[in-house]
Amino acid sequence: MKTTNKPDRIAIELLDTARALSKHGLLSAHELGQVKVLCTPPPAYTADEVILIRTQKAKMSQTVFAGFLNVTASTVQKWESESSGKHPGGAAAKLLQLIEKKGIEAITV
């Protein structure tokens, strides 16, 4: 997994401000951690990484996994195919990151 999107100027300034507030005791370590997560761009996942997250972390079929991510099964198939050139981005990449780190339970209700 690698990060391809650069954080935008606003995210960088928000993170700098949060760090300064934390340094002066006005923001807890937990709150600073939350700001860091929000300001960090989602990673770029390869087809193999998507497959591993789906099969090892979520232990789901493409169709069920797609439902959890609110995308079509066809989209998941494209993400898992090297030849398609398609990769998850935005909210889908953030959800994959969350599943990768905390398991599918992190997004189940």
Every domain of the chain and the residues it spans: 2-39, 43-107
pTM: 0.73
Q: For residue range 2-56, list pLDDT tens digits in order.
A: 544 555 889 899 999 999 999 999 999 999 999 998 888 888 999 999 999 999 9
The topology (CATH level 3) of 43-107 is: 434 Repressor (Amino-terminal Domain) (1.10.260)
| Mean pLDDT within 99-103 | 94
| Mean pLDDT within 94-98 | 93
Question: Residue 78 is encoded by which pair of tokens?
Answer: 């494209």
pLDDT, position 77: 98
| Mean pLDDT within 75-93 | 95
Quick count: other Cβ atoms within 10 Å of Cβ 81?
Answer: 13
Quick count: other Cβ atoms within 10 Å of Cβ 90?
Answer: 10
pLDDT at 1 over 70: no
Q: What is the DSSP letter of 56?
A: I
Looking up tokens 């300064």 gives 20
